[in-house]
Each structure stands twice: as structure tokens, then as C-alpha cells.
Structure 1
Amino acid sequence: MAEPIPFSAALRERSSGAHSGSEHSGFMADLLQGRGTRDDYIALVAQHCDKLTRLPALEADLEFLIGPDWREQVEALPTTARYVERIERVGATWPGGFVAHHYTRYLGDLSGGLFIGKLMQRQFGFDTNGIGFYLFGDIADPRAFKEVYREQLDAAPWDAAEQERVIDEVLLAYRFNTELFEDLGRAKQSSAA
């Protein structure tokens, strides 16, 4: 009899295409391939949810990139507002929903964020200022952190139906990410016109 696939492996497998798709949307692909501008990067950083526990790093990045009055200069795009509303709604009422968005933000940001941070560092000449959100100084070994995180996912007392529901929520989170990159691309085009 074959061993059942651990929940974390099923989640990773089922969401990998959505994660990859969001990173390869026009706006993000341009940014990652060196065709984006510093302003494009600033627009992306300004759309991160302010409820993340890495808020001090995000605020420091925005102050460095925009200035001390950054709060008056940034505005959430429609997708960001919908995304935040979704996180607040499911996070407050459904543990699996909270975990789905936590997984997307933290494991996604840890996996891709280290890469994005290094790219932005090279592309725009940043040292650590401006990319603090993508630095994980309190995580000595990202690979070990992710392994423990996945072990904890596997230990969650969810039946198959609840696991499927969590996977669907992760896919929805990635869809929000893709839509955000599309919003950023449209905003860039309209400001260039």
C-alpha cells in the first residue's frame, strides 16, 4: 500500500503552478528580469499588507524609498484592498484560512523573497535599506525553517476535505497576487500615457 502524500507536499505541489504564474505575470516578470524601474519596485513594496509581523522592516523600506511621509503618498490598489479584506475575514473566522494566507505570505516570501531581495539589491544598488522586507535575519537557516513549517502543516488535525479547502484558499491567495501584479502593470501603463 502506498504511503499517503503528506499535506504539505500536496499543498506545495498543487500551488506551485499558481506561485510560478504570479511571478511570471508581466509586471513582476519585468521587475525580475531587470526591465522594471525603481518606481516599479516602490509600487510593489507599497502594496504589501501592513498586518505582517515584519511591519517594521516594511515601514523602514518605505521610508527609505519614498521618505518620511510615505503614508500620505501610497494608496492601496483595488486588489490589495480585496486581498486584505479576504485575509481579515477568513483569518478571524477560520483557522485553516489564516494558515493558508500565512503559508502564502511567509513561505512564499521566504522562498521567493530572498531571491527578489538580491535581484533588487543588484538592480538598484541597495545595500540593506530598501529591501529589509526581503531579509530574514531572524531565520538563520531558511531551509530548516521551511522543513519545520511543513512538518507543522502535516501535523494539523485536518481531514481531507479541510485540507482541500485550505489548498483552495492558498490558490485564491496566489490569484490575488497575480491580480495585484496586473493592477500594478495597468497603473504603470496609465502613468506612462
Structure 2
Amino acid sequence: MTSISDPPATVPPATVSARLRAATAVAHEQAESSPFIDDLMSGRLDVDAYAGLAQQLLFVYRALEDVGDRLAGDAVADAVRDEKLRRVPRLTADLAALGVDVDALTPSPAVAAYVSAIEATVADPARYVAHHYTRYLGDLSGGQVVAHRMRQHYGVDDAALTFYAFDIDKLKRYKDSYRDSLDALPLDADGVDRLVDEAIGAFGHNQALFADLAADRG
């Protein structure tokens, strides 16, 4: 029997999207508060710092979109895949606008590990969705703030910020629909567990990416 002094039972979130949000809350906050991101968003760095971030993200999105293409036709992956989200062409154009030779780029150690983790999800679409959720939903949300701060603090031209521009009419409506798609994923309990665990790990990869960028700047 439960006594009056017993703590209330913890009820797990009812939906996949709610569970993802709850499970990644701490990792998300840690990634956003990393020293590199805090300095970049506060105006304490420079355009080169933003360019360095964009360069490393190119490898991440190449992997995301390559694996997504390979998973085309899979019911789980297709639930979130959308051509409107494709970022590699825009990121490549942004880097060209910043004067970066994309053919000369190499991934940092953290990004190489991040790419390997994404590539491994071709064998498990549930885990692929975790990386898709972590990056693209972030771009549709906090990414819009990043673009504003890059203009505000460093005068980055819109021609170098097309990565954050989406051909989507109502971003909130789209994000709500995306979460509905997560909630309707054809996954069993084990599949959802793998998705959530991979999402937590994805935020860890982003933290490592930011740490590499900070180390490169001394």
C-alpha cells in the first residue's frame, strides 16, 4: 500500500516526441551552453568562428542526407525525410559566400566520430531518426536565432546564411507536424528506446564538435 509519505510515481511521457524532449533536455542545455556556442552567440568571436562551425556541419549534413537517401522507402525513415529540409546545397553555397574551398576541408576528430555514428544508423532507421530530429528540428528552432545573431554581431550577409532559410511557410506548424510524425512512428518499445538513446548520444556528439572548435581557437 502507498503511504501518504511516499513520493509520487514517475509517469513516463505518453508520446515519442514528449519522451525525446524530456530525455534530451539536460544534454540539449549542455550543448547550447558550451563555451564555444556561448561565445559565438554573445558576439565574442568573429566571422571565422562561424565559418569554422559551418565547415564542420557540412560533414554532418552530408552524412545525414546520404544515409537518408539510402533509407528512402523505409517506413520509419520516410516519416521524417523531406526534401524541404535538405541542407547540403545551401551549406555549400554559404561556405562559398564566405570564401571557403569546401574541397580542401577535413573533419575534426569529433566530427569524424559524429559522421561514423550517423553512417552506422543505416542499419537501424530508428536511430537515424534520432539524428534527423536532433539536427533538423534544432535548425528550425534555435537555428533561426543563430542566423539573427550572426547578422547582428558579425555582419554576416544573408548570402552566407541560407542554411537557416527554409522553404516552409509556417515553421511552427511544420514543427508540430514533425512531432506528430514522430508520435506515429511504426516502432515497438525497443525501437523507441533505441531512438531516445541515440538522440542523447547525438547531443553528445554536438558537444564534442563545439569542444573541438574551441580547442582550434586556443
- TM-score with structure 1 setting the length: 0.90
Once residues 165 and 29 of structure 2 are traced to their aligned partners in structure 1, the CA distance between those partners, rounded to angstroms, is 21
Say if 1:99 and 1:50 are closer, same or farther in 2 by CA, change over 3 A.
Answer: closer
Distance 1:141 1:64 in 2: 27
1:168 pairs with one of 189, 192, 197: 197
The residue aligned with 1:86 is: 117
1:60-87, Cα deviation, whole Å (9 max, x unpaired): 11001124x3422x22101111111110
Matches of 1:105 and 1:20 in 2, distance apart? 14
Q: Which residue of structure 2 aligns with residue 71 of structure 1? A: 103
Helix, strand or coil at the partner of 1:129 = helix
User: Is 1:41 equivalent to 2:73 in the alignment?
Assistant: no
Q: Deviations over 1:2-49 (max 9, x none)?
A: 896111111112112211211111111100111111111111000012
TM-score, normalised via structure 2 length = 0.80
Q: Residue 62 of structure 1 corresponds to which residue in structure 2?
A: 95
Give the partner amino acid of 2:49: D
Which ranges in structure 2 are unaligned for 5 or more consecutive residues? 1-10, 66-85
Match of 2:186 among 157, 169, 184: 157
Query: Residues of 2 paired with 1:102 and 1:144: CA distance?
Result: 18
| Structure 2 CA distance for aligned equivalents of residues 3 and 40 of structure 1 | 40
Bigger Cα Rg: 2
AA aligned to 1:103 is: Y
Hey, what does 2:36 align to over in structure 1?
A: 27
Relative to 1, partners in 2 of residues 1:186 and 1:4: Cα closer, same or farther, differing over 3 Å? closer
Structure 1 residues 77-102: Cα deviation after superposition (integer angstroms, max 9, x where no partner): 01111111110111x10010111111
Letter in 1 for 2:17: S
**1: CA distance between counterparts of 2:38 and 2:183?**
32
2:40 corresponds to 1:10: no
Q: Work out the CA distance in 2 between the residues paired with 1:121 and 1:145.
A: 25
SS at match of 1:36: coil
Name the count of aligned residue pairs: 184
Distance of aligned partners of 1:83 and 1:141 in 2 relative to their CA distance in 1, 3 Å threshold? same
Tell me by how many angstroms 1:129 deviates: 1.3
Sequence identity (%): 40
Provide the alpha-carbon RMSD of the alignment.
Answer: 1.6
Residue segments in structure 1 that go unaligned for 5+ positions in a row = none
